[in-house]
């Protein structure tokens, strides 16, 4: 089972896109759309202050008929962010995401943001691990 550090190293695009708490919700949504991503970390003075997702927008702006033009990211972001470290495993992260209904996990090392994992990253890794195990078992059965 791979660690979070190994998963981050294997990602083709390890860039973590971010916004500031005082950025407009519209700017955050435009960045997500432009980059084809579902969440952004919110950084304040270089430190993790929260996370904002399409789900936050849907629930806290669209459904409440607020203006994305005037609302600030800090008004809709999740400030109590659940994070993982580089030594966490794929299984630990998937369990955390399942239990807490999360789709994204910021990765911190010594308090510094080093990456962002999505549920897609973990599913891709799990599928690769299972395919490898199946291949090994098939080779074992064939006596190779």
| Domain ranges (residues) in the chain | 4-142
3-state SS record for 6-51? HHHHHCCCCCCCEECCCCEHHHHHHHHHHHCCCEEEEEECCEEEEE
Predicted local distance difference test score (pLDDT) of residue 13 = 75
Q: Which residue has better confidence, 41 or 129?
A: 41
Predicted local distance difference test score (pLDDT) of residue 74 = 95
Is pLDDT at 61 greater than 90 in this prediction? no
Predicted local distance difference test score (pLDDT) of residue 67 = 79
CATH topology of domain 4-142: CBS-domain (3.10.580)
Write the pLDDT tens digit of every residue in 63-111. Answer: 777 777 789 999 999 999 999 999 999 999 999 999 999 999 999 999 9
């Amino acid at each position: 089972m791979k660690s979070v550090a190994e998963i981050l190293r294997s990602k083709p695009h390890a860039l973590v896109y971010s916004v500031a708490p005082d950025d407009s919700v519209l700017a955050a949504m435009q960045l997500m759309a432009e980059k084809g991503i579902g969440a952004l970390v919110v950084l304040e003075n270089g430190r993790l202050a929260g996370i904002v997702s399409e789900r936050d927008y849907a629930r806290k702006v669209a459904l409440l008929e607020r203006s994305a033009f005037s609302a600030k990211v800090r008004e809709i972001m999740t400030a109590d962010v659940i994070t993982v470290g580089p030594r966490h495993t794929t299984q630990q992260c998937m369990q955390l995401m399942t239990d807490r209904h999360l789709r994204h996990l910021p990765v911190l090392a010594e308090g510094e943001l080093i990456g962002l994992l999505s549920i897609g990253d973990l599913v891709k890794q799990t599928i690769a691990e299972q395919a490898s195990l199946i291949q090994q078992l098939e080779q074992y059965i064939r006596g190779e």
